[in-house]
Structure 1
Amino acid sequence: MLSAAFLIATSLQAQTPAPTSSTPPAPAAETAPAAPLSVEERAAIAAERAAIAAERAAEASARAAEAAERAAAATVPPPAAAAAAAPATDKKQGEWDVTVGLGLISLTGNASTLTVSGLASAQRTTDHWIYAIKSYGSYGRSRPPEVTGEEAVSQVVAFNAGLELRGDRRFTDVISGYLLGGAETDHVKSVESRTFGEGGLGVLWWDEKKEKGRESYLRTDAAFRYANETRFQYYPTRMNLPDVDLGGPRFGAVFRYGLAQNVTFKEDVEVLVSVIGDSRMLFNSQTQLSVGLTKQLSLGTSFLVKHDSAPPPGKVSTDTALALNFEVLL
């Protein structure tokens, strides 16, 4: 920059006309003060100063850029740390969460008992909808000890199954409206079939994934259910029974809580108060403690209570079941 300015100034001075011989030089004592700089000289000096200022500004800008890069490198975590800090999710939104469970009881010898139970559930969550499918079933036979001279006869001690479909339309992250339909049967309890439909409101109070894989979840339902129950007595003698209808408000709750890492407490409870026909109340509760053995496999123990205030003739009001089963998360 300085060399360019010097060459410009030298060129301007070279182009200035020299004094002719006709004009004698003035005596030294009488020399006038230095003439003001010409426009070209002032421009050359200004250009030189501007070049120096621009060079200094460029150096300052480079130093500032280096400082900014060092500050950014200090604040941005490395890719591995960022991946570790991000919460891990096994399932993406919109995919199905499928769980399959199986239970087995087998006794042999003087008396024999074989009971098989299974369950399956699937749920898919999107921004505006929640779809859920639930099914269960069990079958069991038992042969009491033989009496001398008499042959023991094997009897059915469990024969039930059910299927339930549910769809929730999410109005907000907390409140949703839903429709539910399903059917179930229980031959031991003289229920040939019970088909039902339900519509109501669901409230998701919280759904949290805590540290170390622990969870906390609570949802409640308030709805109206109608069901038609066809009855038939299968045991001990086959006999037709009159059908009944039931319908009324239903209240339900689903609660999950992680007691420790890979240990989860689960509670599903519902109560239906029938206002159609004779007064009747149905109450179901399933309490379960699940221990995760691996990421997909868990071992659970459950206690089931089913109460019917007006069961079919000859049947008791309350049934209970204590079971140990394996669950697989697909």
Structure 2
Amino acid sequence: MKSYGSYGRSRPPEVTGEEAESQVVAFNAGLELRGDRRFTEVISGYLLGGAETDHVKSVESRTFGEGGLGVLWWDEKKEKGRESYLRTDAAFRYANETRFQYYPTRLNLPDVDLGGPRFGAVFRYGLAQNVTFKEDVEVLVSVIGDSRMLFNSQTQLSVGLTKQLSLGTSFLVKHDSAPPPGKVSTDTALALNFEVML
């Protein structure tokens, strides 16, 4: 199970004689549930389901389901708790995206369906004891309706504070070749993260 969320505001530079109002620049959350069945030490099958929302991107909700195969290229445990790990996924995903424009004015937008092959990779590398470099990347090519491609990449450096809690900083890139009206195709974000392992 994986869950996440972020919220942020930004205040533009003040103009002489006017007080600049702060603007919401991040307001999103998501939840994913994944179950794997290992066929061999390398190959596994999995089912994944989840939902997410992103008010700034005019995505009221995006619910999705996915089934596919995962390949574990290596999973090594090194000295002093360091690890090295690489897994790739190839799957088919279907998603229903309900759209609503929250900013700058509230406006109902047409819903969109997505469906097509998804490719992903998860890489972990222990730089030192309790310090881990992480890279998560995925590409979804929708073949339902109009052509559309979604690309997400998150690069993170994480420091373990305890066995369950870690603190990290991450750089996120999200690209949507056909975003909702009035939204940019590519978003980037630099964030401070807290991770809790249950």
TM-score, structure 2 as length reference: 0.92
| Regions of 4+ moved over 6 Å | none
Whose relative contact order is higher, 1 or 2, with alpha carbons under 8 Å and at least 6 apart?
2
CA deviation profile, 1:180-213 (whole Å, cap 9, x unmatched): 1111111111111111110111111221111121
Among the aligned pairs, what percent are the same residue? Answer: 97
Choose which of 215, 218, 224 in structure 1 pairs with 2:86.
218
Structure 1 pair 171/186, CA: closer, same or farther in 2 (3 Å)? Answer: same
**Higher percent of residues as strand:** 2
**Pairs aligned (count):** 198
Structure 1 pair 294/191, CA: closer, same or farther in 2 (3 Å)? Answer: closer
Q: Which residue of 1 aligns with 2:71?
A: 203
CA deviation profile, 1:8-57 (whole Å, cap 9, x unmatched): xxxxxxxxxxxxxxxxxxxxxxxxxxxxxxxxxxxxxxxxxxxxxxxxxx
Q: Secondary structure at the match of 1:259?
A: strand
Give the Cα–Cα distance (whole angstroms) in 1 for the partners of residues 141 and 21 of structure 2.
39
Task: Give the Å deviation of 1:329.
Answer: 4.5
Choose which of 29, 35, 41 in structure 2 pairs with 1:173.
41
Q: Secondary structure at the match of 2:40?
A: coil
CA deviation profile, 1:163-190 (whole Å, cap 9, x unmatched): 1111111222222111111111111111
CA deviation profile, 1:243-278 (whole Å, cap 9, x unmatched): 111110001111111123332111111000111111
**Higher percent of residues as helix:** 1
Structure 1 pair 167/327, CA: closer, same or farther in 2 (3 Å)? Answer: closer
Give the Cα–Cα distance (whole angstroms) in 2 for the partners of residues 317 and 194 of structure 1.
17
CA deviation profile, 1:106-125 (whole Å, cap 9, x unmatched): xxxxxxxxxxxxxxxxxxxx
**Structure 1 residues without counterparts, runs of 5 or longer:** 1-132
* Deviating more after overlay: 198-207 vs 268-277: 198-207
**Structure 2 residues without counterparts, runs of 5 or longer:** none
Give the Cα–Cα distance (whole angstroms) in 1 for the partners of residues 172 and 97 of structure 2.
21
TM-score, structure 1 as length reference: 0.56
CA deviation profile, 1:215-246 (whole Å, cap 9, x unmatched): 11111111000111111111111111111111
Give the Cα–Cα distance (whole angstroms) in 1 for the partners of residues 194 and 61 of structure 2.
28
Structure 1 pair 163/298, CA: closer, same or farther in 2 (3 Å)? Answer: closer
* Deviating more after overlay: 204-213 vs 294-303: 294-303
**Structure with max Cα Rg:** 1
